[in-house]
Chains A and B, each alone.
Chain A
């Protein structure tokens, strides 16, 4: 069972039921951020009341891909593991940062923190977008940055996505590192030409002369009755552009880490945020850390099925997981995080263990991330699959305004539970 733990704060709950001891007595799980939107708690920590006899085995998978040891934890409860998945920092070790308690913040604050730290670190980083400066950002991600860094580094643009994205790319060609914000990802459709042809392809067509270290970010996904045009999932359109990387953040921890990694990357990165996840609260480390752009996050190791998801659907999946565990299943949940390229290594390891795959995504069924993922997994791991891959996606319809209809456009936890039950028959 591959278990890559991403430490939140300092401690990670060991998934072992400590054998004979009581059910939920293990250390507090902080692997799941408590969120506070609405009254709906979409996230739960995996229940400890499962099989008493179960022995947990740990395999720590480092980012360089070496499979390590198996630890038996009979009698041992919490293991402090930090797998920061920092690709470049040579001095980071999994057991570091265990003593600092970290600080708690909301996801949009985590994004801001990441952005601010990178802007302090490198004077070439600048932010461009609508209302990012004086207004502070429509989701407050850039609040306070304009007063701190000035108008030349935090730029309010007119409503002209095509051209300011193009300008960001032009600036990136000279070596600046702009962060272009689309107020809503859907608006970036107007800049599709710039993103596809110039951003993605210039490194190639110039024979390597220019790199485009730009970050394009913005909230997308289905929100709360925002209407069809403001509920788009652009990852399905951008995914075939060669030369770009796409990542989707889902927790404050990975939001900050991915933001920083994206800014430091020499390649153009599109960072997908979600409108409904901005107010998630979590405790993140105090020290500098980044998340590997191409790595997936193992949210919950499991034996029966591999559930692949990203962004908001992660929380629906975790809620479904709670129900599933109560019913006696052991779902493994992977937040794929890297939408382009896929982390087939982490995914593959899980598939080899569970032999069943369920993809839960917010894209539409046609041509979405799930569709590509099905193709990739089938091509690579066909031998390991006991059943055809199931993919739960949003319906192929424009997102309606009415609340009930909108709810049924996206995948709900009940459907996930039903799908797993069907898959595991």
Chain B
């Protein structure tokens, strides 16, 4: 929610204040907050069945600093989750997003909270970019009451209804038909909003994706299918899983765009373009060329199917945070020290959130039985006596 405050409010010019964390020291205003700045993306867009948008992206210093801060927060959050997992405070599955942060922040910068986003299980950062708080993240990961799903969902089931974040899905590919359903509802209600349905390169081979794409194209739904191509479907490289790894072309009659997913500005440009396109012409596919540093999940070391050199190579050359840092420094928007301070601040924020989340209690035993059904038309788990709800725990 700190992020949404920063991203949304135009008045909050300079001071990077967040309500949650401890008071920050005085900051001098960053120069030229909203003054426009044009940046060229380094990698051009490749398009399929449509005109690629231009490589010149409109931005401003405030936005760039927001990008930096948000991505640093996400990076820190994921690393902290890694340690929590190793400390056995987080159990089960934990899929980390570090390396891919640019997709989340770039997308958010191009759209409003009325547009819907739905994604798969690598959802921590997308949740945060949609306005989720760190406390909700860590509490949910640790299965506590303060979590966004009251501790009943876990890492793969983050949802935030009021900012139209529809989760958080464990089964590969199943969220894409759901996303097209969201787009259908938007068209039905004439909302003039779009849905971004995110999936991975592994899910791109799911049949239900093409089924949903067919229906979306037939019915002209404002659905944008975003393939976050991190080149590995768990342990299988994309060239071993897909005959045609050009995922943006897979839509055939549906236009597609390939984007450098490690460049937040390119992502922002592409999403803006896609939104305009989808509102007029129906579905479009975006392929984000991105990379994850961690393995598929915490139980995957991530090095058995790729070399450490490859990982460190990407980290050196394409890291999204470094890119924004260089951009900021080269345009003199902030000093090296200020950026380091932001990172320290973010680190503290994450630590505070973890401490707070650790204090949150585990769910009550009665929570086992809540939210199975919604109350309505007299749904209760009738026992033999109709008055007695048989489900009580000692």
State yes or no: do A and B come from one complex: yes
| A interface, CB within 8 angstroms of B | 63, 65, 87-88, 126, 152, 155, 157-158, 160, 162-176, 193-194, 197-198, 202-211, 242-243, 245, 261, 264-267, 292-294, 341-345, 348, 380-381
Are A65 and B386 also in contact (CB < 8 A) when A152-B188, A293-B377 are?
yes
Residue in B177, B375, B380, B381 whose beta carbon sits within 8 Å of that of A170 in the complex: B177
Residues in chain B near residue A176, CB distance under 8 A: 184-185, 188-189
Residues in chain A near residue B211, CB distance under 8 A: 158, 160, 162-164
Given contacts A166-B174, A197-B174, 16 further A-B pairs with CB under 8 A are A155-B219, A160-B215, A164-B177, A164-B215, A166-B208, A167-B184, A167-B212, A172-B181, A204-B371, A207-B148, A208-B370, A245-B373, A264-B376, A293-B377, A294-B382, A344-B382
Q: List 21 A-B contacts (CB under 8 A).
A: A158-B211, A158-B215, A158-B218, A160-B215, A166-B208, A167-B178, A167-B181, A167-B184, A170-B178, A206-B159, A207-B371, A208-B150, A208-B370, A210-B161, A243-B373, A245-B373, A267-B373, A293-B379, A341-B381, A342-B382, A380-B384
CA distance A176 to B116 in the complex (A): 15
Residue in B151, B168, B371, B381 whose beta carbon sits within 8 Å of that of A208 in the complex: B371
| B235 contacts chain A at the CB level, 8 A cutoff | no
Are A197 and B373 also in contact (CB < 8 A) when A162-B208, A171-B185 are?
no
The reply to whether B372 and A243 form a contact with Cβ atoms under 8 Å apart is yes
What 8 A-B pairs come out closest when comparing CB atoms? A170-B181, A166-B177, A167-B181, A160-B211, A163-B211, A170-B178, A266-B376, A207-B149
Are A163 and B376 also in contact (CB < 8 A) when A169-B178, A173-B182 are?
no
| B317 contacts chain A at the CB level, 8 A cutoff | no
Residue in A155, A266, A343 whose beta carbon sits within 8 Å of that of B382 in the complex: A343
Residues in chain B near residue A203, CB distance under 8 A: 371-374
Interface residues of B in 171-208 (CB under 8 A from A): 171, 174, 176-182, 184-189, 207-208
- Among A172, A194, A206, A381, residue most surrounded by chain B Cβ atoms (within 10 Å): A206
The reply to whether A348 and B384 form a contact with Cβ atoms under 8 Å apart is yes
**Interface size in chain B (residues, C-beta < 8 A):** 60
The reply to whether A163 and B153 form a contact with Cβ atoms under 8 Å apart is no
| B231 contacts chain A at the CB level, 8 A cutoff | no
Residues in chain A near residue B151, CB distance under 8 A: 207
| B interface, CB within 8 angstroms of A | 116, 118, 147-154, 157, 159-161, 166-171, 174, 176-182, 184-189, 207-208, 211-212, 214-215, 218-219, 370-387
Are A168 and B181 also in contact (CB < 8 A) when A163-B212, A194-B174, A197-B174 are?
yes
Residue in B150, B166, B378 whose beta carbon sits within 8 Å of that of A88 in the complex: B378
CA distance A245 to B381 in the complex (A): 11
Residues in chain A near residue B371, CB distance under 8 A: 203-204, 207-208
With CB as the reference atom, state the residue of chain B lying closest to A381.
Answer: B384
Are A294 and B378 also in contact (CB < 8 A) when A166-B174, A205-B153 are?
yes
Residue in B160, B185, B187, B382 whose beta carbon sits within 8 Å of that of A175 in the complex: B185
CA distance A344 to B382 in the complex (A): 7
With CB as the reference atom, state the residue of chain A lying closest to B373.
Answer: A267
Residue in A172, A194, A267 whose beta carbon sits within 8 Å of that of B177 in the complex: A194
The reply to whether B378 and A292 form a contact with Cβ atoms under 8 Å apart is yes
Residue in B170, B376, B386 whose beta carbon sits within 8 Å of that of A345 in the complex: B386
